[in-house]
Structure 1
Amino acid sequence: MTVETGDDVRRRVADWWGTSVSRIEPGVIELRGHPIQELLGTTSLTDGIWLMLHGTLPTPRQAELLDAALVGSLDHGPHAPSIAVARMSATCGVGLNNAIANGVNVMGDVHGGAGQQCLELYTEIRDLAAAGTGHAEATRVVVQQWQARSKYLPGFGHRFHPRDPRRDPLLGLVERAVADSVVAGDFLAAGLAVEAAIAPVPMNIDGATAVIYGELGFPAPLARGLFVIARSVGILAHAWEEMQGGRRIKGPIPPDIRPTYRPA
């Protein structure tokens, strides 16, 4: 039996939460190897997000794409469940952190998860096409498989907008980035192929941001995480606005309107 020395124990404890994300010591804060004092005033929040997730700083064009995707996901009004829950929470005497957390916690596979799912869809098409199945056939096969599992294809169609106003400007940025060899264009091609295959149903914000996140090299689960980061800003703004109104215990409908009673 090996007997651990004090140094062995300290090393094992220190390794328990070993990380390459940050280095924090007395007088030292480094993010992915970059001293914080060198980042402050020179690095935007979007650059910082890229740094924390990719481990390097982005080029200006990469940052432009990521920033546009984040801005596109900031808010969608009080009828979005995450916003509504946060606003109701804000009237219940909780802090902003609780209201934000409550809003974030309702973002699941149905509300908030479509970007991740759509990027998984695009990735399947890209990989199948790269394996030698033609791009058109890969799109047909993958779309058919997804539609067999659900009548909703993530990233396409919108319950509110006939055509999502965020689609065209976001894809326009990607098209210019492809033309300038900033990104390869594989995910843009997959997204446009799906849109053509299921026309006239257009791509929505989740489909457009999935194109961007795929082109920028983010794995599919991070598409959901990045959406949560962006939407948290909208949640914060709505929760703060609700707190300024002073109303207490605000429910989902005005108190003079009663829910329909349906006898069992």
Structure 2
Amino acid sequence: MPRTKSCTSSALLTLPAEVRIAILEYVFDDNLHKSGLKYDGRSGALAIDERYSANDSLQALLTCRLIYLDGGIVAFSKTSFTMSSLFGSIPDRLSVLHTKQIEAVRNIAFVADARQFRGLVDWRRYPFSMPNVRLDRLTVILHPSSSWHYLFDFTSGVVELLRDLHNVRRIFIIRNSARVKGSFKTWYNRLIGMIMKVDHHERYEKSPPNPEKVWWRWSYDEVAQSLCLEAQPPKPAMDEESYMLMMQPPLEEWKVSVENEEWNPDPRSRMMYY
């Protein structure tokens, strides 16, 4: 971030700190409506907004050092930060921030190809393996290159990650016009099917049982070409019959989604739950 200016006399700067912060809350509220994504006017699909820059949304902090100190935490909590380069590192970018600023960040998006997905499945417990990162929204945007994305190669790793991923409230994966081998919707069905299959196996076919630490509510937006996972509390311990009754609605919904997909010759895109 550019160097802040020295504070000069101003009516705003003479106000009590809590009043200044309340005003800055209002100033940065507009950032909540800027996600770094845009909708295609004709298809309605989501795509990365190449013109978006988090720096543009933080310009008010450059007014002076006092405004920067007062409003920094507020601004970082309301601003979406996007890594559009495949060669950048979000942990490296975050490392230049103060600890309190890192803890304030709530929305991060990054463009991904196979390298980013390999890194993602190795996070294990926290986003970017950083315990002090607590996100309301994590967005993974597929890179729209001429190469195919083989997302099926990462399905089992993503499922394992999700079972114990803390400090993330919602995960979005955006197709972004990328070419996905086997189709993006088919991969979504494969992912959800494996989530349910692994969950059942870990609960009732393993000794001792290994229930999930985090459960997820899933949805797919056909128009936007995106999927959403919302973190939920883990399911309680229960007998298998009760578990099967509880899982029947999402299982039936998943079966309908699978049946609506066209048959795909790629065998990696086909999977039965039981």
* Smaller-chain TM-score bracket: under 0.3
Structure number with bigger Rg: 1
Bigger fraction of residues in strand: 2
TM-score normalised per structure 1: 0.26
Bigger fraction of residues in helix: 1
TM-score normalised per structure 2: 0.26
